[in-house]
Amino acid sequence: MWVYPEIHFLADLVTYHARRAPRKLALVYGEQRYDYAALEVESARAANALLAEGVKPGDRVVFFGKNSADFFLALFGTARSGGCFVPLNWRLAASELVQVAADAAPVFAIIEEEFEPVWREVRAAAGITAGYCVIGDTRRLCVWSGGHTAVLPRLHLREDDAVIQLYTSGTTGVPKGVVHTHASFNHSRLSEHLERAFDWREGDMFLYALPNFHLLGVALSLQCLYNGVALCIQKQFHPQEFLIGIARSRPTLLVLTPTMIQLLIDHPDAAGTDFSSLKLLMYAGSPISLGLLKRALSIMPCQFMQFYGQTETSGPVSLLRPDEHNLEVEQTLKSCGRPLPLIRMRVVDEQGNDVPDGTPGELLICAPSASAGYWNRPEETDQRFKDGWYASGDVAYRDAEGLFYIYDRLKDLIVSGGENIYCAEVENVLSLHPAVASVAVIGVPDPRWGEAVKAVVVLHVDMTVSHDELLNFCRKNLAGYKVPKSIDFVDAFPLTGTGKVSKKDIRAPYWAGMQRSVA
């Protein structure tokens, strides 16, 4: 059934390539280079070191650090030990991390030296007594595990065992631990293998700077390694360093969020960067404005592919494929595409009934790769995962051609005077104004309408535009009730730990002391 029948468990992908092409490059991080044979040896030693620390099947092992080769040694080592790997969001404040750490209840932790003081604070506040090791550029994981055998542990694992636990970004509430199994990732790989748009070739390289605690980073890096694609790892995303990485490493594949794309093409060095090595740029993680997509397509001479998925789906569930990225067909560029093989999507009303094409409703997803549910949250698991379908919380519609369009998050819906207004629709219009670099639309309290539409705008450097000019621009492209009642100009948006615009934080000042009806 699987693409490679020998790969039943996550770390089997390392063994598979180590046996067939042991000298094939797997990881590059600064001066460190790991072929699959070295990755096999060092992940086996890490597994045995974890077992010596008392890790048992199902136990949670925390990783608290930025991108590195050691991240992957720790991930595969944990998988080989039977444990469940929990990468922490290093952008969170200590008080936020306490909630996550207490929920995960790890039996061991691998901590980058930069974050050891924070971990000590979090560990004490969360009541965690488990041990931990400290790693860094001068204290690599292989030194900690080097005294252990490289013989693979002989454990009885099951494909439905938890192997990775990712925490949601918490844009609408307390972060939840999303549990992924070995089978979840195998089903993702099978779905991708059956998809014609994925075209892996010998010599492909992925320049990796995505957050390692987010599904986008985890899923795409594992997808690459599964298919024998080398990862060139950067510690974190920085536009200038990323542009330098493109020039030096000559990657064929990039995966970025819309926020990253904007930062990249807005950087002064982008104009002099040679993007000719690129074969494909995939983007995902949050909705992309039409204006930004059109700019990116004109600057980077490669194929573009959007994918849509959530932490709960283990990987992409729909693709807007390269041949559908046509600048002359703007409507299609707003779509998140069609489902991948083995995946079904439907749009339903509040009663769970399918709605006609063109009618917005909640998007439900049926995917064999879907998460096993939320850690320690059975009631929320039952609410979101019903009868084989996952309730995404996204408002979407399907057109007559079978393309799906994400309108907005249900929680971002503005109800003004009884009318439903979707923020993304207004954002797409404003993003097309030449002075607008980025925009976030929110609902704010209004004594007459209940909620009023407000646009919060970041302008391009050295460009100006008046409040009235933007409102007139909206009136030409939107129904009157959708036009913002007010516009605020800011220098930058607050971001979540995963690089998404944090509308929760943007709304907060306007709703202080009040309860929003759409929670």
pLDDT tens figures, 328-382: 887 888 899 999 999 999 999 989 999 999 999 999 999 999 999 999 999 999 9
Average pLDDT, the chain: 90
Classified by CATH at the fold level, domain 36-181 comes out as Rossmann fold (3.40.50)
In terms of average pLDDT, the best of 94-98, 210-214, 339-343 is: 339-343
pLDDT at 125 over 50: yes
Q: What is the SS3 assignment for 479?
A: coil
Q: SS3 of 236, please?
A: coil
Q: Range(s) for CATH 3.40.50.12780 in the chain?
A: 36-181
Question: What b/e sequence results for 127-152 when a residue is b if at least 16 CB atoms lie within 10 Å of its CB, and e otherwise?
Answer: ebebebbbbbeeebbbebbeebeeee
Can you tell me the mean pLDDT for 181-187? 94
Per-residue model confidence (pLDDT) at position 260: 86
Contact by Cβ (8 Å): 322, 340: no
Using DSSP bridges, classify how beta strands 108-112 and 60-64 pair: parallel, antiparallel or unpaired.
parallel
Residue 498 has pLDDT above 70, yes or no: no
**pLDDT range class, residue 62, cuts 50, 70, 90:** very high
Task: Say if residue 426 is exposed, middle or buried (CB neighbours under 10 Å; 0-12, 13-18, 19+).
Answer: buried
Going from the C-alpha of 396 to that of each of 219, 318, 347, 361, the distances in angstroms are: 24, 13, 7, 6
Would you place residue 297 in the very low, low, confident or very high pLDDT band (cuts 50, 70, 90)? confident
Residue 285: what pLDDT?
A: 60
Highest average pLDDT, of 161-175, 416-430, 478-492, comes from: 478-492
pLDDT score recorded for residue 517: 43
What is the structure's pLDDT at 382? 94
Q: What percent helix, strand, coil does the chain show, rounded to 5?
A: 35, 25, 40
pLDDT at 390: 96
Q: What is the pLDDT of residue 424?
A: 78
pLDDT for 29 beyond 90: yes
Is the alpha carbon torsion for 87, 93, 98, 103 positive or negative?
negative
Q: What is the CATH number of domain 415-510?
A: 3.30.300.30
173 pLDDT higher than 70 = no
What is the arithmetic mean of pLDDT over 214-240?
95
pLDDT for 477 equals 81
Domain 341-409 class in CATH: mainly beta
Q: How far apart, in whole angstroms, are the C-alpha atoms of residue 517 and residue 35? A: 54
pLDDT above 50: residue 440:
yes
pLDDT of the residue at 259: 78
**SS3 state of residue 351:** coil
Q: Locate CATH 2.30.38.10 in the chain.
A: 341-409
Answer for the pair 132, 109: CB distance below 8 angstroms, yes or no: yes
Q: Tokens 């909620």 belong to which residue?
A: 451
Position 407 pLDDT exceeds 50: yes
Length of the chain: 519
| Predicted local confidence at residue 212, as pLDDT | 94
